[in-house]
Amino acid sequence: MEYRIEHDSMGEVRVPADKYWAAQTERSRGNFPIGVGIETMPKEIIRAFGILKKAAARANHALKPEKMTAGKLEAICKAADEVISGTLDAHFPLVVWQTGSGTQSNMNANEVIANRANEIAGEKLCHPNDDINMSQSSNDTFPTAMHISAVTALEDCLIPAAEGLIETFRVLEAENEGIVKSGRTHLQDAVPISFSQEISGWRSSLERDVELVRLAMKPLSELALGGTAVGTGLNAPAGFSEKVAEEISVLTGKSFVTAPNKYHALTSKDEIVFAHGAVKAMAADMMKIANDVRWLAGGPRCGLGEIRIPENEPGSSIMPGKVNPTQCEQVTMVAVQVMGNDAAIGFAASQGNFELNVFMPVIAYNFLQSVRLLSESITSFRNNCAVGIKADKEKMRHNLYNSLMLVTALNPYIGYENAAKTAKLAYKENISLKEACVKLGFLSAERFDEVFHPEEMV
């Protein structure tokens, strides 16, 4: 491999000749051989750095044109666009497990954009610190990248995935209108419910989750950029905070504003904690929905068997013909991962000391993993399971009329205690509720038929 010599404030460093990164990135590569090639800084963060570096260059050109010249701006914007598009992904090798401020990843972006900009310009025009990092600090750029990437992931990935499943459930509700089945509470038989009502519960849960995610996105729209090192805005020109937020909004097509208190923005990660709580709420509801589906589809002969779901692949290497609810299983595993990530994010966010939180890379990594996994999980569940849910009407009707909790309909006519005696006798002697009620002398057979209509109990 060929190398070139780069230098930083600590001296010279050999860097692979075919890479745009420079000394500080190379030092980090050598100092943190942890999770290399596996737990690298999320691509969403890299894209966000490209956006904020381009926005900062634009803001600096407007406020300090004598330093951020038109020539520098043009070259920086072109290089930043390549970062945003993913063209330069191979030049961002750093792992999550680095400095807790994300300084090396900020410098990775500065170095790559500077070297690529110089290549575009055909001259050594831009310096990583003086030009690409102008009016910034790692301490305000990394939390800004976190917020940009979080809002983008939630709005462009998670919400559309959830809304797609919501629409599928809405279609299933209409298809299953009028089908009455046994309800269940405590995993025990309960009074009747229509299948469309049951599905509406799934749909409504996800609709509320989307509402919560949207509420959580508002605090994430506030950006730390402009606070520089400790929140005072040292070395940033007046108006930079507002101008760079405007530029980021233009570049992303999303609404961002400058955080009103930069001391808070640098050290507290409460917005991310709150937003991930909404993500966790959706994961919890998806866990519930997936469990409902696989319980209802249990069988094919020895389970509840009230619905049929798509058979996607063989389920056993030893039992011929076995098919498992694998899409439900992937959902529940993803939900568990999201819940674990929530704990890690909460612990990390609690560790802000004085003017900075130094657990930001792990917070970003876990947050973005949760959103990515849950988005893909929901879409997979919708496409490979939910759209193919079919009611087994015969089994639903059998279970409904076999349920002892239908006796609840008799409460107004024979009272709670007599109804309980009827249910217990029916269960003990394995007879119908009608037979038990007549045997106990509570109602005549004719009167029982007059008042007992399970389909009307919904």
Task: Tell me, yes or no, if 221 is annotated catalytic.
Answer: no
The catalytically annotated residue of 85, 204, 255, 316 is: 316
Upper half-sphere CA count for residue 345 (Cβ side, 13 Å): 27
> Are the C-beta atoms of 383 and 377 separated by less than 8 Å?
no
Q: Which residues contact 394 (CB under 8 A, 6 or more apart)?
A: none
Helix H or strand E encompassing 450 = helix 445-451
Tell which residue, 209, 109, 200, has the closest CA to residue 154.
Answer: 209
Task: Give the alpha-carbon dihedral of 314, 316, 322, 328, to 10 degrees.
Answer: -70
User: Of 327, 297, 307, which is closest to residue 390 (Cα–Cα)?
Assistant: 307
Reduced to 3 states, what is the DSSP secondary structure of residue 181?
Answer: strand
Cα pseudo-dihedral 145, 151, 156, 157, rounded to 10? 90
Residue 183's closest CA among 195, 192, 173?
192
Rounded-to-integer distance, Cα 445 and Cα 434, Å: 7
3-state secondary structure of 76: helix
> How far is the C-alpha of 383 from the C-alpha of 330, rounded, in Å?
13
Is 61 a catalytic site residue?
Answer: no
Nearest CA to 424 out of 401, 453, 445, 404 is that of 404
Pair of tokens at residue 85: 């598009």
Within 8 A by CB and 6+ apart from 254, the residues are: 151, 152, 155, 221
The β-bridge partners of 3 are 16
* 8 A C-beta contact, residue 3 and residue 109: no
CA distances (Å), origin 182, targets 120, 145, 306: 69, 50, 10
Is the separation of the CB atoms in 152 and 144 below 8 Å? Answer: no
188-194 and 222-223 beta bridge pairing: unpaired
Nearest to 283 by CA among 225, 335, 227, 211: 335
Token pair 């629409």: residue:
167
**Cα–Cα distance measured from residue 35 to residue 26, given in angstroms and rounded to the nearest whole number:** 16
Active-site annotation, residues = 186, 316
